[in-house]
């Protein structure tokens, strides 16, 4: 495993386990099997785990960390907090449900640009107080937009930037992959920690997985890469890619059969709540039913959480 420094914290694995793949939005396995995956990743050297309030999976991480030395793990989470109360709610929920005294990274989820960030400033001020108290170690943003990465330079509070990037630019909402690279480069010059997300374009690039991983690995400004993994083989494969090794044929065959898709059940009543949540414009209501455009969908599963009847599933 390769490691990096998260500011003063040394030996943070360059491969971060993105746990959206273990949330109820995407994964219907038992708690025990999900914890087994996290334990396996940990044994293989992964000590960096990303989650979010939205993923509703703090219980899995709590189970996973309970017998570990907390200081040897790095936990990142995020929420849509916009004022003092929602910031306090998010931090207290994370601390309580993870059963931890501190969070290594707390981010504002899905930021769009500097103006959007300013609109959350009351929450940011509360996060800064938590930082002074050591409850949050670092603060940042996650985003699918170049403008948010660019505008992060205007805010010293933002130390950690978690942008979407992949070799085809799939899912970048406001420009090209070249522009995102440039924005990342500038953010790095200003000492932001950069963690890449969606390097496989939400599954679209899985047939070129090594190439897609190499693209992110070879961008020197990227400090770590978060990947959602839901099988032992995926963990092995991503560690192989990080170390620039070739996969053995057994792992290759198993991965090949793991392509995921988004399913909308026939009971959908076409209310449109899910479509309004999709920032990729991948959902449309046609003849009273929701329809997905898989060329646009990056399998983030945020729409699934909007359907209170659970008609959307990532399978
Ligand atoms: S939220 Fe559920 S019921 Fe409403 S359009 Fe989406 S899938 Fe259909
Ligand atoms: S359709 Fe759903 S899973 Fe696909 S990009 Fe939109 S919100 Fe994400």
Structural domain boundaries of the chain? Answer: 3-256, 262-314
What average pLDDT score do residues 279-291 get?
93
pLDDT in tens, 218-275: 999 999 999 999 899 999 999 999 998 877 766 666 666 666 788 898 889 999 999 9
pLDDT at 9 over 90: no
What average pLDDT score do residues 141-149 get?
97
Nearest ligand to the C-alpha atom of residue 272: 1
What average pLDDT score do residues 204-220 get?
90
Please tell me the CATH code under which domain 262-314 is placed: 3.30.70.20
Residue nearest to atom 6 of ligand 2 (CA): 278
Nearest ligand to the C-alpha atom of residue 307: 1
pLDDT value, residue 299? 85
Question: Does residue 119 line the site of ligand 1, with CB under 6 A?
Answer: no
From the CA of 270, give the closest atom in ligand 1: 5
pLDDT value, residue 248? 72
Q: What is the rounded CA–CA span in Å between residue 239 and residue 227? A: 10
pTM to 2 decimal places = 0.86
pLDDT value, residue 257? 61
Higher pLDDT, 154 or 245: 154
From the CA of 296, give the closest atom in ligand 2: 5
Domain 3-256 and domain 262-314, same fold? Reply is no
User: What length does the chain have?
Assistant: 315
**Mean pLDDT estimate for the chain:** 92
- pLDDT > 70 fraction of the chain, expressed in percent and rounded: 97
pLDDT in tens, 179-188: 999 999 999 9
Residue nearest to atom 6 of ligand 1 (CA): 274
Q: Maximum CA pair distance of the chain?
A: 55
Question: Does residue 164 line the site of ligand 2, with CB under 6 A?
Answer: no
Please tell me the CATH code under which domain 3-256 is placed: 3.20.20.100
pLDDT value, residue 247? 76
pLDDT value, residue 179? 97
Task: Please name the residue that has the structure tokens 């309580």.
Answer: 96
Question: Does residue 268 line the site of ligand 1, with CB under 6 A?
Answer: yes
Residue nearest to atom 8 of ligand 1 (CA): 268
pLDDT at 134 over 80: yes
Do residues 108 and 123 lie in contact, with contact meaning Cβ atoms separated by under 8 Å?
A: yes
Question: Does residue 197 line the site of ligand 1, with CB under 6 A?
Answer: no
What average pLDDT score do residues 9-13 get?
91
From the CA of 272, give the closest atom in ligand 1: 5
């Amino acid at each position: 495993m390769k490691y990096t420094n998260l500011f003063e914290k040394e030996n943070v694995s360059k491969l971060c386990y993105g746990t959206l793949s273990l949330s109820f939005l995407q994964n219907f396995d038992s708690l025990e099997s999900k914890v087994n995956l996290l334990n396996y990743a940990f044994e293989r050297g992964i000590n960096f785990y990303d989650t979010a309030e939205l993923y509703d999976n703090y219980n899995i991480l709590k189970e996973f960390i309970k017998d570990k030395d907390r200081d040897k793990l790095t936990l990142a989470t995020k929420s849509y907090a916009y004022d003092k109360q929602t910031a306090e709610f998010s931090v207290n929920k994370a601390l309580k449900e993870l059963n931890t005294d501190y969070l290594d990274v707390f981010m504002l989820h899905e930021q769009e640009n500097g103006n959007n960030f300013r609109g959350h400033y009351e929450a940011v001020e509360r996060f800064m107080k938590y930082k002074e108290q050591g409850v949050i170690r670092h603060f940042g943003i996650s985003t699918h937009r170049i403008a948010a990465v660019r505008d992060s330079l205007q805010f010293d509070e933002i130390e950690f930037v978690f942008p979407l990037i992949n070799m085809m630019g799939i899912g970048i909402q406001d420009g090209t992959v070249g522009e995102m690279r440039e924005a990342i480069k500038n953010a790095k010059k200003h000492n932001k920690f950069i963690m890449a997300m969606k390097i496989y374009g939400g599954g679209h690039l899985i047939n070129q997985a090594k190439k897609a991983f190499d693209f992110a690995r070879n961008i020197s400004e990227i400090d770590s890469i978060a990947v959602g993994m839901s099988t032992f083989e995926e963990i092995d494969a991503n560690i192989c890619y990080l170390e620039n090794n070739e996969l053995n044929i057994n792992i290759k065959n198993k991965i090949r059969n793991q392509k995921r898709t988004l399913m909308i059940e026939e009971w959908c009543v076409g209310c449109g709540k899910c479509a309004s949540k999709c920032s990729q414009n991948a959902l449309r209501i046609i003849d009273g039913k929701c329809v997905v455009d898989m060329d646009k969908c990056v399998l983030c599963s945020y729409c699934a959480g909007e359907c209170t009847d659970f008609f959307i599933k990532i399978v």
